[in-house]
Every structure is written in structure tokens, then in C-alpha cells.
A = this chain, B = another copy of it.
Amino acid sequence: MSNINITRLDASSADFDRQLKNLLAFDETDDLEIHQRVLAIIADVRKNGDKAVVEYTNRFDQRTIAQVSELELPPEILKSAWNRLPAEQSQALQTAANRIRAYAEHQKMESWQYTEADGTVLGQKITPLDRVGLYVPGGKAAYPSSVLMNAIPAKVAGVGELIMVVPAPQGETNQLVLAAAYLAGVDRVFTMGGAQAVAALAYGTETIPAVAKIVGPGNIYVATAKKLVFGQVGIDMIAGPSEILIICDGETNPDWIAMDLFSQAEHDENAQSILISTDAAYLDAVEQSINRLLPTMERAEIIRTSLTTRGALIKVSDLNAAADVANIIAPEHLELSVEDPEALCKNIRHAGAIFMGRYTAEALGDYCAGPNHVLPTSSTARFSSPLGVYDFQKRSSLINCSQTGADTLGTTASILARGESLTAHARSAEFRIKPS
């Protein structure tokens, strides 16, 4: 196997900003044809309900069902999938679930209120979503860890009913996924997928109840359908290719860092793995590790393509410069493999998850550290957050004016409303002013 050709950049070069921009660029052109096909499926499911779901599921998943109720898995199926797991796997899933739940409990929002001097009460009331849909892909990206990461925060939030949909091509189901659904407390499971499943969850059919929000990863049809039903229901973010950025001071075993880069690259050819170091010789050492370890990897070809087309090794002058690059990239995963990760972390403004210290491999966070592995990709960490309990709760403002409070506020509101020529607003406020 020939050595890998991985992009080298130097942050001190005059052209670095443009080079970095090119490295990060990823063309996600919206496919208008897919858009229109998905629109048609959604319209069909809205109009024809169960009948449309049956037709699309039989067609796309090579099923032969006569009615949607056949798609629902009875709870015993999930339980038996769980019971049949090897002890090692069920214990590992249980450990992961416990840790994900413990971390999620810290995210739970609570209602609050305060009373002003005149007796007026202001506050914020927190309520969970009534019902949530969890999309789980079939095929190669069917990950039990994803089921836990999406389902557990919803349950911690207090979501009333969690409905999972997962396509079962030719009736095939993934036993690990069903076991994870059992463990996470998923309430109902329908073996359906694609845009038709998203549409059914968004609008409801005779058999499938409408949900308030749809979360979970999926292919381009699923992602497009989620975008198109947004507004009717809430959705989580639309994930791009996964990325890791590692900042290393040159003192971590280069094999460890090479494997951390691989762990991202093995996801798919478009995944992006970038290493930044203050030490050029260390970048060489990691490249040697990459070349030595790559032939031993099960997914060597995916890793090779990912690293050669989207990977990079970047030399910086110091850790402050490394933080600057990280803040431009706003990576999904950021490893701070340095002596004093707390100090460096203070300079990080944008990242989905920050893995601190030489022992904190991203893979630990992917499975069982506790924080969610559903993270903002493609620089969206500039403005968005990991999936969390807060995504399954929402806030209502509370205002309870005392008579005195309404009197005072009424005067202010009246002046402002009249300034905006909204006189019904003004008069409504004025009714609450005490007659003088």
C-alpha cells in the first residue's frame, strides 16, 4: 500500500485563510429533483394517510403488507431482542444508557418565577413535548448508540410518547437497534422509513399518531423530508458529514492521535479529520503512524479516501493560534490533546463537544461518556448546540400582573402602542389603569 497523501497547511502562511476555507468547503447542493419527489410523497401521505404509507413501504422496502398496523412491532419483540443480547453487549449498553441519562439529568430545565414589589409575577414555565418521533436508519448506519443518544434525553425531558420508525428492507430488522430501543424505553416502533415515515409522523395517519418533533439521522430523502415538514413539527438539526479537529502539543503518543483521526474518517468518505500541532516533527510522526496503521484497519479504503480528500495536518506557531483556527472551523468534535486542556479550553468559543486531555478519545464520548453524540456539524457549532434534554422541552412565558402592576405597566404600554399606531393595544392597556 502506498503512503497516504494528506494535505499539509501552515497557519502562518499568507494564504492560509483561503486554504482553510477550501479545505472546509463541502458542496451540499440541494437536489431539486429529490426535493420534488419528497414533496410529492409528503402530499400523498397527507392526503391518503395509511394507504400511501402502505404503498411506499411496499415499493421502497420490498415489503408485502396490506395495512400499516402490520408495521408496528409488538413490545415483546423489543424485549426479546434485548434478552437475546450477549451479556457483554447488554452490560455495555446498560452502562452507556446509565451515563447518558445521568448527564442528561443535568440538562433538564426547570420552571422559575419571581415576584416584583407590586405583586406582579413573571416567570417561565417548562413543559415536555407531548409526543416525539425518532427516525433510525436501516442499512449500514443503523447504530444502537444513536438510539440511546436520541431517545434517552427525550425520556428524561418527560416526553409523553416516543415513537421510533426504522425501515426494515425486505422485513429485516437490526436486533441491536431493537434492543437499544427497549433499553431506552421507546414506546412504539413502526418498521417504516424514508420520506413517507417522516410525513406520517408529521401529519399523522389513521394508524400513526402525529408527533410534535422528529429527531434522528437519515439519508437525503429523510433529511429533505424533515426540512419540508419543519413548521408543522419541530426537527433537530440536519447533520452534514462528521468531523474531528485535534489540537496536540506533540506529547501524545502519535499512534493514539492517528487512530483518533481514523475513528472519524471511518464513518464515510466525506468525513473530515484535521490535526493541528505546534510541532512540525510531531505532524511527521503522526503521518508515519497513519501510514503504518492504515493497512491494519478494516475500513482502510474509506479512511484513506477521507484523509486524502478532506483530511489535513496543520502547523501553528502556538496554542493560541491553534484556538483561533479551531474557532474558525467550529468543529463538531474537538480534542485538546495537550498538557493543560483547561487553559486551552478557555480560548475555545465554538465546538460541539470538547474532549480534554490525552486520555479523552472522541470514541469514549461517542458511546458512553455521557454527553450526547448528536452534535452540530459543518461549522454550525457557531450557533447551535448538541442534542439535549432541552430539545424535548419548551418554555412558556408567564405574566401575572397585580392591579397596581397593571396600572403602572398600562401607562407605559399605552404610550408605546400609540407610538406604533396600535390603538386597540393602547385601549386594552388603558382599561387596566386605575380610574384617577
Q: How many residues of A contact B (CB 8 A)?
A: 114
Complex CA–CA separation, A122 to B353 (angstroms): 11
Query: CB-nearest residue of chain B relative to A348?
Result: B396
The one of B299, B348, B357, B361 that contacts A431, using a Cβ cutoff of 8 Å: B361
User: A363 touching B399 by the CB < 8 A rule?
Assistant: no
User: A125 touching B354 by the CB < 8 A rule?
Assistant: yes
Complex CA–CA separation, A388 to B395 (angstroms): 10
User: A395 touching B386 by the CB < 8 A rule?
Assistant: yes
Query: CB-nearest residue of chain B relative to A396?
Result: B351
Chain B nearest CB, measured from A436 CB (Å): 16
With a cutoff of 8 Å between Cβ atoms, the chain B residues found around residue A382 in the complex are 129-130, 212, 234, 394
Complex CA–CA separation, A39 to B253 (angstroms): 49
Q: Is A276's beta carbon under 8 Å from chain B?
A: no
Interface residues of A in 84-114 (CB under 8 A from B): 88-89, 92-93, 95-96, 103, 106-107, 112, 114
Q: Is A249's beta carbon under 8 Å from chain B?
A: no
Q: Is A207's beta carbon under 8 Å from chain B?
A: no
Query: CB-nearest residue of chain B relative to A143?
Result: B420
Q: Is A259's beta carbon under 8 Å from chain B?
A: yes
Q: Is A220's beta carbon under 8 Å from chain B?
A: no
With a cutoff of 8 Å between Cβ atoms, the chain B residues found around residue A401 in the complex are 357, 359-360, 364, 369
Chain A positions within 8 Å of B, measured between CB atoms, are 88-89, 92-93, 95-96, 103, 106-107, 112, 114, 120-122, 124-125, 127, 129-130, 143-145, 176, 212-213, 231, 233-234, 238, 253, 255-256, 259-260, 262-263, 265-267, 297-299, 303, 341-342, 345, 348-357, 359-372, 375-376, 378, 380-386, 388, 394-403, 405-406, 409-413, 415-417, 419-429, 431-432
**CB<8 Å pairs between A and B, sample of 20:** A92-B412, A106-B124, A122-B369, A124-B371, A129-B383, A130-B382, A144-B420, A256-B428, A256-B432, A259-B427, A259-B428, A266-B424, A299-B422, A355-B399, A360-B401, A363-B413, A363-B428, A364-B401, A381-B394, A382-B394
